[in-house]
Amino acid sequence: MTPRIDFTSDAFFRDPAKGIATLRASGPVVATRFPLVGDVWVTTTYETTAQVLKDSTIFTLRKEGGEIAGVRWWMPKLLTTLANNMLTMDEPDHTRLRSIVDEAFRRRAIVAMEPRIRAIADELAAGLFADGSPADLVQRYARILPLSVICELLGLPQADRPRFIAWANSMAGLTNVFGFVRMLFALGKMRRYLEGQLQVARTQGGEGLIAELVQVEREGGRITPREMVSMVFLLLAAGSETTTHLISGSVYELLRNPKLRDWLEEDWSRIGLAVEEFLRFVSPVQFSKPRYVRRDVELAGARLKKGDRVMVMLAAANMDPDVHEHPDVPDLARKPNRHMSFGTGIHFCLGHQLARIEGACALQALFARWPGLALAVDPSEIHWRKRPGIRAIAKLLVAMGARQRVEESGNFLDETRSRSQPNTERPSSSGEATRSPAM
């Protein structure tokens, strides 16, 4: 009998490798229950995960009649409308929509945005403790950076970004009925706003990805007005939410593992390797969307029937010991790193390049500005949002550290006092700073 795992619990998010190992012990494909989805098959190995993602003829996102696998009958029409995007479509509609956004992305040089992304990260890092120390890194840094970048990429006015942060917070708070109502209210406002921005781009033109999408639309791209709204909403949501959790999860791992942090700070050219390992180890997106089984099939010894639903567990693929040596230990020098965080097959993540750049810029800017950064609470006090499928730290309180407090205040007396206090940053015999685990 397959053990039941609470995929929304702190225990699972704190140590996913433990829960995944428990599931994998029952087989490479196991039957379980998933919140909101219900009874579903779940893959627990790299091989089975890849097989399901690559076979889009047997494992489809929609039933033969077009019903989306992850959408339930009781969900509001607004949700079903916004869910009608390329991430929930099979061929040929997936390729039709993907080609439109691929063309728009090609016209926007993502790599060329790196200096601008670093500038935004530097500015946010400098203001992290503007309201004092400690500060919540999730709300003041990890959420704002990718939202700012995607808004700029889309061509949305800078003055409108505070409202997007508020909307994003409403959607992130989906843990109860009240949060669900708040989310629907925010989604309605966001949809109306995006419809207005698309209309402005159609009549007045403009800069950014929205204008590029409209141009592709004019040049014969086959897309309906509703699909266009869903497309922009997807880019805005997917282009910010998961990167938020990649950044906060990466910072958390560095702050509670001084050796990892020291290794990275010795040579920031290693940042590319580090980001790949954080993508694997943090695994912000734990599960894919549910897929329907189109015909009876045997998958790794399990007999799946037509009409069954299956979800690939990306986090399990990333923790598979047959692919990754010591998968439950973060190794920033891991190479090769065959993680599955961006998926595979036709639905391979469109924003993989942008996410990697944002993750690298976020970490470099933060630790360059605050080399004494420390957790402001014990790691046992860190909690995750109860969102199934997404590993999202709810709040990450950090402190600037003694050295930064001195530099910011310019007060020599404060420096003298800080040296006399226990658990503060002191130079070691090697001349390097010894960091306390919490400030």
Q: Where are the alpha helices (DSSP H) in 205-282?
A: 209-218, 225-238, 241-256, 258-266, 271-282
| Strands 397-399 vs 135-136: parallel, antiparallel or unpaired | antiparallel
How far is Cα 101 from Cα 106, in angstroms, rounded to an integer? Answer: 9
Classify residue 422: in a domain, yes or no.
no
- List, edge to edge, every strand of the sheet that includes 291-293: 29-34, 38-43, 309-311, 291-293, 59-60
Q: Are 315 and 43 in contact (CB under 8 A)?
A: no
Classify residue 432: in a domain, yes or no.
no
Predicted confidence at residue 237, as pLDDT, reads: 77
Q: Are 49 and 340 in contact (CB under 8 A)?
A: yes
How far is Cα 414 from Cα 395, in angstroms, rounded to an integer? Answer: 28
Classify residue 128: in a domain, yes or no.
yes
User: Which CATH number goes with the domain that contains 77?
Assistant: 1.10.630.10
CB neighbour class for 398 (10 Å; exposed up to 12, middle 13-18, buried from 19): buried
How far is Cα 334 from Cα 431, in angstroms, rounded to an integer? Answer: 29
pLDDT digits (tens, 9 = 90+) for 286-303: 999 999 999 999 999 999
How far is Cα 1 from Cα 10, in angstroms, rounded to an integer? Answer: 24
How far is Cα 277 from Cα 335, in angstroms, rounded to an integer? Answer: 9
**H or E element in which residue 330 lies:** none
Classify residue 41: in a domain, yes or no.
yes
Count CA atoms within 13 Å of residue 310 on its CB side. 32
Count of residues in the chain: 439
DSSP designation for 68: B
Classify residue 426: in a domain, yes or no.
no
Residue ranges of the chain with per-residue pLDDT less than 50: 73, 402-439
Classify residue 376: in a domain, yes or no.
yes
How far is Cα 62 from Cα 27, in angstroms, rounded to an integer? Answer: 26
How far is Cα 237 from Cα 112, in angstroms, rounded to an integer? Answer: 22
Read off the tokens for 15. Answer: 């140590």
Domain span holding position 185 = 10-400
pLDDT digits (tens, 9 = 90+) for 196-250: 888 888 888 888 888 888 887 777 767 777 888 888 888 877 778 899 999 999 9
Classify residue 427: in a domain, yes or no.
no
Predicted confidence at residue 155, as pLDDT, reads: 87
Q: What pTM was estimated for this model as a whole?
A: 0.85
Choose among 149, 136, 103: nearest CA to 355. Answer: 149
Q: Are 89 and 238 in contact (CB under 8 A)?
A: no
**Domain count for the chain:** 1
Q: Which residue's entry shows tokens 């099979």?
A: 90
Does the CA dihedral 415-419-423-427 come out positive or negative?
positive
Backbone angles phi, psi at 232, to 5 degrees: -65, -40
Classify residue 326: in a domain, yes or no.
yes
